[in-house]
Amino acid sequence: MNDVPVAVAAMPSAEGTAVARAAAVVGGPPAVRCTGLARRFGRRWAFSRVDLEVAAGARLLIMGANGSGKTTLLKVISTLIPPSLGAVQIFGHDAGADPAAARARLHLLSHSAGLYEDLSGADNLLVLSRLLGRPLVDPVALLARVGLAPRPEPVRTYSAGMRKRLQLAALLLKDPPLTLLDEPFAALDPAGCGAVEALISGLSGTVIVASHQVGRAARLCDHALLMHEGAARWQGPAARAVEAYTALHGIDNADGGG
């Protein structure tokens, strides 16, 4: 039988109860509530039985090595893929019953770019502004905010770093109440990482960052969740994220970016 493996639930620790308490301070439902969440591919469980609550306005780091389940967890929260078990609520909306309502309140920046490959970066932003029903933006100014110069070539000719910057420009344009960032520092040089760090720090609303660059990402967050082999192993203040990551893995390999 393929029973779900028992995992340590990501309920707030004594130090991490601020995540739960902050929801009452805001006065509305939490931005994200995951109950008994699990996802498998065939016979392999990507993660299992995660219970998680993220208050509106909070900033959460989901950390873990490659294969820990953090990216799949973000995809399930975003409704990009459905859970195998459990439920997700986004600002009180059942993401399974009404995924469109959930998606309208969030934006996922992931490895799959979600860009129009045959259009230029500027044209991508113009199309997005129309799809969002927004007044037409100044794409040159928006590209400049993420360190991109306007160019006529289509996005399919962009480097990985340029594509990441264009994704960030799209995120700034949408300005959602919930932002999900999967490895936002990947494919960027040190200068690019610093620029992205500044952009993330200026985001409004609730932010969830999944990253193995723990030190850099922890500076941007209030709380942290440590995933390991598909299970939630620890949750607490982001200030202790590097300590928790290092204790689990036995060596100081939490790439800190300083």
What's CA 183's distance to the chain center, in Å? Answer: 8
Tell me if 39 sits within 8 A of 46, measured CB to CB. Answer: yes
The label of the residue with tokens 């993330």 reads 200
* pLDDT in the model for residue 113: 64
CA pseudo-torsion sign 52, 36, 242, 216 = negative
* pLDDT in the model for residue 195: 85
Tell me the pTM. 0.84
The DSSP secondary-structure symbol of 46 reads: E
| CA proximity to 9, closest of 235, 244, 249 | 235
**Digitized pLDDT (tens) for each residue of the chain, 258 residues in all:** 444 333 334 433 333 333 433 333 345 899 999 999 999 999 999 999 899 999 999 999 999 988 899 999 999 999 999 999 999 999 999 999 999 999 999 999 987 667 999 999 999 999 999 998 888 889 999 999 888 999 999 999 998 888 888 999 999 999 999 999 999 988 788 888 888 899 899 998 999 999 988 999 999 999 999 999 999 999 999 999 999 999 988 755 555 544
* pLDDT in the model for residue 11: 38
CB atoms under 10 Å from CB of 15, counted, come to: 13
| CA proximity to 54, closest of 92, 82, 86, 84 | 92
The CA angle 185-221-14, to the nearest 5 degrees, is 135
Q: Which domains does the chain have, with CATH numbers?
A: 18-105+176-242 (3.40.50.300)
